[in-house]
Structure 1
Amino acid sequence: MFVSVIVDIPSKSVNQVFDYRIPDGMDEIIRVGHRVLVPFGRRTIQGYVMNVKDAADFDPSRIKPIAGTLDIEPVLTEEMIVIAKYLAEYYIDQYISVIETILPAALKANYKKLVRLSESAGADARGAFTGLGLSDGSEIKSLNSEALSVLRPYLKSGEVVEETKISQHTKKKTALAVYSLKITEGHLGRAKKQVELLDRIESSSEPILMSDLKAEGYSNHLVNSLYKKGYIDKMNMEVERDPYSGRIFEYDAPKVLNHEQRTAYDEVSASMDAQSAGTYLLHGITGSGKTEVYLQVIQKALDDGRAAIMLVPEIALTPQMVNRFKRRFGDDVAVLHSGLSAGEKYDEWSKIKEGRARVSVGARSSVFAPFENVGAIIIDEEHEATYKQSDRPMYHAAEVAKFRSRYHGCPLILGSATPSLESYARSEKGVYKRLELTKRAGTEMLPDINIVDMSAEHREGNTSIISKPLYEDIKDRIDKGEQTVLLLNRRGYSNFQICQSCGHVPMCPNCDISLTYHKSNSSLLCHYCGYETGVHKECDSCQSEDVTFRGTGTEKVEEILRDMFATDVVRMDNDTTRRKGTHEKLLDHFENDEIPILLGTQMIAKGLDYPMVTLVGVLNADTMLNLPDFRANEKTFQLLTQVSGRAGRHELAGEVIFQTYNPEHYAIELATNNDYRRFYEKEMAFRKLARYSPFYFHVLFTVSSEDVRSCLESTTHIHAALAENMSEQSIIVGPSPSPIERINRQHRFQILLKYKREPALLGVLSELDREYHEKYKKEDISLKIDVNPLVIM
Structure 2
Amino acid sequence: MMYAAIIVDIPNKAVSKIFEYEVPESMVSFTKVGHRVLVPFGSRTIQGFIVELKETVDYDTTKLKPIAKLLDIEPVLKPELVELSIHIADYYVDNYINVIETILPAALKSNYKKVLVGHDDAAIDWINARPKGPEVKYLTKEELKELRVFIKEERITEETIIKQHTAPKKALAVYAIVDDMNLENAPKQLELFYEIQAASEPTLMRNLTERGYSNHLVNELYKKGYIEKTEVEIERDPFKNKVFEADKKKALNAEQQENFNQIKQSIDARQDDIFLLHGITGSGKTEVYLQAIDVALQNGQEAILLVPEISLTPQMANRFKSRFGDDVAVLHSGLSPGEKYDEWRKIKEGRARVSIGARSNIFAPFENLGIIIIDEEHETTYKQNERPHYHAVEVAKVRAKYNRCPIVLGSATPSIESYARAEKGVYKLLELTKRAVNQTPIDISVVDMAEEHKRGNISIISDTLQDKIIERIEKEEQIVLLLNRRGYANFQLCQDCGHVSTCPHCDISLTYHKRKQNLMCHYCGYEETVKKVCAACDSTSVTFRGLGTEQVEEILRDTFNTDVVRMDFDTTKQKGMHEKLLNTFERENISILLGTQMIAKGLDYPNVTLVGVLNADTMLNLPDFRASERTFQLLMQVAGRAGRHQLPGEVVFQTYNKEHYAIQFATNQDYMGFYREEMDFRKVARYAPYYFHVLFTISSERMADVIEGAHHVHQTLSQQMSNTSIIVGPAPSPIERMNKQYRFQILLKYKRESGLMDVLKALDDHFFETYKAKGLLLKIDINPSLIM
| TM-score, normalization by structure 2 | 0.98
Other-structure match for 1:96: 97
Are the equivalent residues in 2 in contact too, given 1:538–1:547 (CA < 8 A)? Answer: yes
Look up the SS of the partner of 2:189 in the other structure: helix
1:62 is aligned with what amino acid? K
Other-structure match for 2:331: 336
The whole-number CA distance in structure 1 between the counterparts of 2:438 and 2:229 is 60
The whole-number CA distance in structure 2 between the counterparts of 1:320 and 1:523 is 34
Aligned-pair CA distance for 1:131: 6.2
Other-structure match for 1:780: 775
1:151 is aligned with what amino acid? L
Residue 750 (structure 1) aligned with residue 751 (structure 2): no
Seen in structure 2, the aligned counterparts of structure 1 residues 669 and 331 have a Cα distance that, compared at 3 Å, is same
Seen in structure 2, the aligned counterparts of structure 1 residues 156 and 464 have a Cα distance that, compared at 3 Å, is farther
Q: 412, 415, 418: which is aligned to 1:417? A: 412
The whole-number CA distance in structure 2 between the counterparts of 1:251 and 1:133 is 59
The whole-number CA distance in structure 2 between the counterparts of 1:356 and 1:514 is 50
Aligned-pair CA distance for 1:99: 1.2
- 1:192-341 correspondence runs (5 A): 192-341=187-336
Bigger CA drift: 405-414 or 632-641?
A: 405-414
Aligned-pair CA distance for 1:674: 0.8
Instruction: Give the share of equivalent positions with the same residue, in percent.
Output: 63
The whole-number CA distance in structure 2 between the counterparts of 1:442 and 1:219 is 55
1:114 is aligned with what amino acid? V
Seen in structure 2, the aligned counterparts of structure 1 residues 703 and 155 have a Cα distance that, compared at 3 Å, is farther
Are the equivalent residues in 1 in contact too, given 2:313–2:357 (CA < 8 A)? Answer: no
Aligned-pair CA distance for 1:272: 1.3
Other-structure match for 2:115: 114
The whole-number CA distance in structure 2 between the counterparts of 1:156 and 1:389 is 50
The whole-number CA distance in structure 1 between the counterparts of 2:540 and 2:63 is 76
Bigger CA drift: 739-748 or 140-149?
A: 140-149
- 1:670-685 correspondence runs (5 A): 670-685=665-680
The whole-number CA distance in structure 1 between the counterparts of 2:247 and 2:719 is 61
Look up the SS of the partner of 2:356 in the other structure: strand
- 1:352-431 correspondence runs (5 A): 352-431=347-426
The whole-number CA distance in structure 2 between the counterparts of 1:193 and 1:225 is 11
Are the equivalent residues in 2 in contact too, given 1:128–1:151 (CA < 8 A)? Answer: no
Other-structure match for 2:48: 47
2:291 is aligned with what amino acid? Q
1:464 is aligned with what amino acid? S
Look up the SS of the partner of 2:30 in the other structure: coil
Look up the SS of the partner of 2:137 in the other structure: helix
Bigger CA drift: 770-779 or 202-211?
A: 770-779
Q: What CA deviation, in whole Å up to 9, does each residue of 1:394-445 have, x standing for no partner? A: 1000011111111111110000000000000000000000000001001113
2:362 is aligned with what amino acid? V
- 1:679-698 correspondence runs (5 A): 679-698=674-693
Other-structure match for 1:664: 659
Other-structure match for 1:172: 168
Aligned-pair CA distance for 1:653: 0.5
Bigger CA drift: 217-226 or 644-653?
A: 217-226
Are the equivalent residues in 2 in contact too, given 1:5–1:50 (CA < 8 A)? Answer: yes
Other-structure match for 1:708: 703
Residue 143 (structure 1) aligned with residue 143 (structure 2): no
Look up the SS of the partner of 1:26 in the other structure: helix
Aligned-pair CA distance for 1:155: 3.8
The whole-number CA distance in structure 2 between the counterparts of 1:318 and 1:591 is 16
Aligned-pair CA distance for 1:156: 4.8
Q: What CA deviation, in whole Å up to 9, does each residue of 1:606-632 have, x standing for no partner? A: 111011100000000000000000000
Unaligned runs of 5+ in 2: none
2:160 is aligned with what amino acid? T
Are the equivalent residues in 2 in contact too, given 1:264–1:436 (CA < 8 A)? Answer: yes
Look up the SS of the partner of 1:538 in the other structure: coil
Q: What CA deviation, in whole Å up to 9, does each residue of 1:317-369 have, x standing for no partner? A: 44111100000000000110000111111111111111111111111111111
Aligned-pair CA distance for 1:154: 4.0
Are the equivalent residues in 2 in contact too, given 1:383–1:416 (CA < 8 A)? Answer: yes
Are the equivalent residues in 2 in contact too, given 1:510–1:744 (CA < 8 A)? Answer: yes
Q: What CA deviation, in whole Å up to 9, does each residue of 1:239-260 have, x standing for no partner? A: 0111111211111001000011
Seen in structure 2, the aligned counterparts of structure 1 residues 255 and 134 have a Cα distance that, compared at 3 Å, is closer
Are the equivalent residues in 1 in contact too, given 2:311–2:598 (CA < 8 A)? Answer: no
The whole-number CA distance in structure 2 between the counterparts of 1:678 and 1:533 is 47
Residue 80 (structure 1) aligned with residue 81 (structure 2): yes
Other-structure match for 2:37: 36
Aligned-pair CA distance for 1:146: 4.3
Other-structure match for 1:497: 492
Other-structure match for 2:613: 618
1:30 is aligned with what amino acid? T
Aligned-pair CA distance for 1:15: 1.8
Q: 626, 630, 634: which is aligned to 1:635? A: 630
Look up the SS of the partner of 2:308 in the other structure: coil
Other-structure match for 1:23: 24
Residue 464 (structure 1) aligned with residue 459 (structure 2): yes
Seen in structure 2, the aligned counterparts of structure 1 residues 179 and 66 have a Cα distance that, compared at 3 Å, is same
Seen in structure 2, the aligned counterparts of structure 1 residues 134 and 477 have a Cα distance that, compared at 3 Å, is closer
Seen in structure 2, the aligned counterparts of structure 1 residues 769 and 242 have a Cα distance that, compared at 3 Å, is same
Aligned-pair CA distance for 1:780: 0.9
The whole-number CA distance in structure 2 between the counterparts of 1:166 and 1:333 is 32
Residue 349 (structure 1) aligned with residue 350 (structure 2): no
- 1:428-507 correspondence runs (5 A): 428-507=423-502
Seen in structure 2, the aligned counterparts of structure 1 residues 327 and 46 have a Cα distance that, compared at 3 Å, is same
1:181 is aligned with what amino acid? I
The whole-number CA distance in structure 1 between the counterparts of 2:6 and 2:80 is 16
Are the equivalent residues in 1 in contact too, given 2:313–2:356 (CA < 8 A)? Answer: no
Other-structure match for 2:157: 161
The whole-number CA distance in structure 1 between the counterparts of 2:254 and 2:179 is 67
Aligned-pair CA distance for 1:226: 2.5
Are the equivalent residues in 2 in contact too, given 1:618–1:659 (CA < 8 A)? Answer: yes
Aligned-pair CA distance for 1:143: 2.6
The whole-number CA distance in structure 1 between the counterparts of 2:149 and 2:772 is 31
Q: 719, 724, 731: which is aligned to 2:726? A: 731
Bigger CA drift: 146-155 or 239-248?
A: 146-155
Unaligned runs of 5+ in 1: none
The whole-number CA distance in structure 1 between the counterparts of 2:132 and 2:405 is 59
Aligned-pair CA distance for 1:116: 2.9
The whole-number CA distance in structure 2 between the counterparts of 1:46 and 1:370 is 21
Q: What CA deviation, in whole Å up to 9, does each residue of 1:558-597 have, x standing for no partner? A: 0000100111110011111100001111111111111100
Seen in structure 2, the aligned counterparts of structure 1 residues 775 and 158 have a Cα distance that, compared at 3 Å, is farther
Are the equivalent residues in 2 in contact too, given 1:318–1:606 (CA < 8 A)? Answer: no
The whole-number CA distance in structure 2 between the counterparts of 1:226 and 1:511 is 66
Are the equivalent residues in 2 in contact too, given 1:290–1:415 (CA < 8 A)? Answer: yes
Other-structure match for 2:72: 71
1:42 is aligned with what amino acid? S
Are the equivalent residues in 2 in contact too, given 1:316–1:337 (CA < 8 A)? Answer: no
2:310 is aligned with what amino acid? I
Q: What CA deviation, in whole Å up to 9, does each residue of 1:661-715 have, x standing for no partner? A: 0111110110011100010000111111110111000000011110011001100
Aligned-pair CA distance for 1:128: 6.4
The whole-number CA distance in structure 2 between the counterparts of 1:109 and 1:632 is 41
The whole-number CA distance in structure 2 between the counterparts of 1:443 and 1:402 is 35
Look up the SS of the partner of 1:357 in the other structure: coil
Aligned-pair CA distance for 1:129: 5.1
Are the equivalent residues in 2 in contact too, given 1:315–1:322 (CA < 8 A)? Answer: no
Look up the SS of the partner of 1:327 in the other structure: helix
